[in-house]
Chains A and B, each alone.
Chain A
Amino acid sequence: MTLARRWFARLAPWAAVVVLWYAVRESGLVKPALVPSPADVAQQFWRMMTTQRLWLDMYMSFQRVLLGVAFGIAAAVPVGFALGWYRPVRLVVDPLINFFRALPPIALIPLVIVYFGIDETAKVVMLFYAAFFAGVIVMYEGIVQINPLFIRAARTLGATDAEIFWRVIIPLAVPHMLTALRVSLGVAWATLVASELIAAQRGLGAVIQNASNYFQIDIIYMGIICIGLIALVMDRGLRRVAARLVQWQERLA
């Protein structure tokens, strides 16, 4: 019963979206040609999976996001750490971070093309940019919040600076790293279409753009839904891992 209820709670919002979608389409308020039905979209999905190698597009996008986030987080964790830990550094660098963070990646495309060309590198650089700035903020806000009480307590037990770093600060930073990773991943997926504006042959962003050239609204819908679903599944997976790693935290994912 509880299991059934949990599944119901999980599926109900999706069912509601589908119902609403049909309702909008049938209401006559919009031209049916402009709103494909969920069934049309599902059919397109199947057709493209079987005949157009849609899985390859998914794989390419997935790979780009993964690379962008991997590099982004690898940079964001130490930089965020330094910013959180050293107040003077933060005061100097914080405005810069917020300046660059506010720039829409799409506006950077011309520059990215000039400096990085139109290959994979250019796309990953865009995603790196988005992932880094999202991650670095989460990371340093988290580090700032570390309670100095624990450091004091460790010191009174005889901990050296190195021991405090590895045995106190790192465990306290792990939850923030995981949050930074989740936020970066979300932002990277949100930036994907922009990054694939750079001469992408394959990828979900490329699928959406090609479809838009030919006014294939059902494919546009399908591409968008694919992005959302893949991002959702990845986030869920990360939350699982996070809950394992930071079992001790009050607020579990």
Chain B
Amino acid sequence: MSGRPRIVLDHVSKDFPTTTGPLRAVEDVSLTIHEGEFISLVGPSGCGKTTLLGMVAGFTEPTAGRITLDGRPITGPGPDRGVIFQEYAVFPWLTVRDNIAFGLTLRANRVPAAEREAIVDRYLRFMGLEAFAAAWPRTLSGGMKQRVALARAYAVKSDFLLMDEPFGALDAQTRTAMQHLLLDVLEREGKTVLFITHSVEEALYLSSRIVVVTARPARVRHIVDVPFPYPRPEKLRRAPEFNDLRAEVEALVMQEYADQERQHDRRPGPDPRGGER
């Protein structure tokens, strides 16, 4: 089903220093991401998923273990790994067109102006943004901003898309439309995706594999292979086998929430003597 291994996480852990000593955000995560896969990370919020994605993006380095891309350790961010942020991160001082062109004007992936225009036009069309090419981002809706961000990442021909709850701030309809758009461009252009979401339903609809992550520190609790072939029709969401699998994965995630709660209860409060414990 999937191609050769591209990104390999090998016993990756990450600690953050705090005033009360190091805080472990990610613990001993091993995961292989193959060419063309769509992997979703699901788990409780604040559990370290973003930290994990940030290490793959190259924003931070693991405290222990290593992450390699085609066998070479990841040392920093790069245009081979496009990142889509929940807050869009569309540059407000550039028009939609210039946002999409931004990466192509950098030394790292510079192309001749004519070619650049052609690429930008192509993604404007792809994302349904032609009418907004000259618009300032502040005039766009959240869904449109996220399409600009997606086009900007696609324009530099990144092999990977690292998406941190990209549709989390969108309303339900826009979110569904964006999921279709994403599957659509993936179908046409191919990419390897690492995707963070809270929604098991979203993860199931989009991914080829789902990684259920434990509460802080993040560990791999379970990996679910999603058996549905692409392209995935909208009606898949209403199929019984889809909903059975959804219930199963949701149970795993709920278990994590419950564990997190219990952990929380065990932690001493600000004043252990006060209150009836």
Contact = CB atoms under 8 A, between A and B. Distances in A.
A247 B107 contact: no
A209 to B, nearest CB: 46
Interface residues on B, range: 20 to 34
A159 to B, nearest CB: 5
Nearest to A164: B106
Interface stretch (B82-90, B114-122, B211-219): B82-90
A167 to B, nearest CB: 8
Contact of A156 (B83, B93, B94, B137): B83
A158 B138 contact: no
Interface in A167-208: 167-168, 171-172
B78 A153 contact: no
B227 interface: no
Contacts of A248: 92-94, 136-138
Interface residues of A, number: 21
B79 A158 contact: yes
A157 B93 contact: no
A250 B92 CA distance: 9
B107 A150 contact: no
Which of A159, A172, A249 has most B Cβ within 10 Å?
A159
B108 A156 contact: no
Given A150-B91, A248-B92, A250-B138, A156 B107 contact: no
A163 B79 contact: no
Contacts of B123: none
Contacts of B81: 156
A155 B77 contact: yes
B128 interface: no
Contacts, number: 71
Interface string B65-102: 00000000000111101110101010111100000001
Contacts of B92: 248-250
Contacts of A160: 106-108
Given A152-B83, A163-B106, A248-B136, A158 B89 contact: no
A29 interface: no
Nearest to B136: A248
A11 B157 CA distance: 57
Which of B77, B81, B136, B149 has most A Cβ within 10 Å?
B77
Nearest to B103: A157
Nearest to A162: B107
B93 A152 contact: no
Contact of A153 (B83, B108, B109, B136): B83
A65 B170 CA distance: 50
B152 interface: yes
Interface string B168-194: 000000000000000000000000000
Given A158-B106, A158-B156, A248-B94, A153 B138 contact: no
B57 interface: yes
A5 B107 CA distance: 52
A4 interface: no
Contacts of A246: 93
Given A155-B77, A248-B94, A149 B107 contact: no
A156 B136 contact: no
6 contacts: A150-B91, A155-B76, A157-B156, A158-B107, A167-B102, A248-B137
**6 closest A-B pairs (Cβ-Cβ)?**
A158-B108, A158-B79, A157-B103, A153-B89, A171-B93, A156-B83
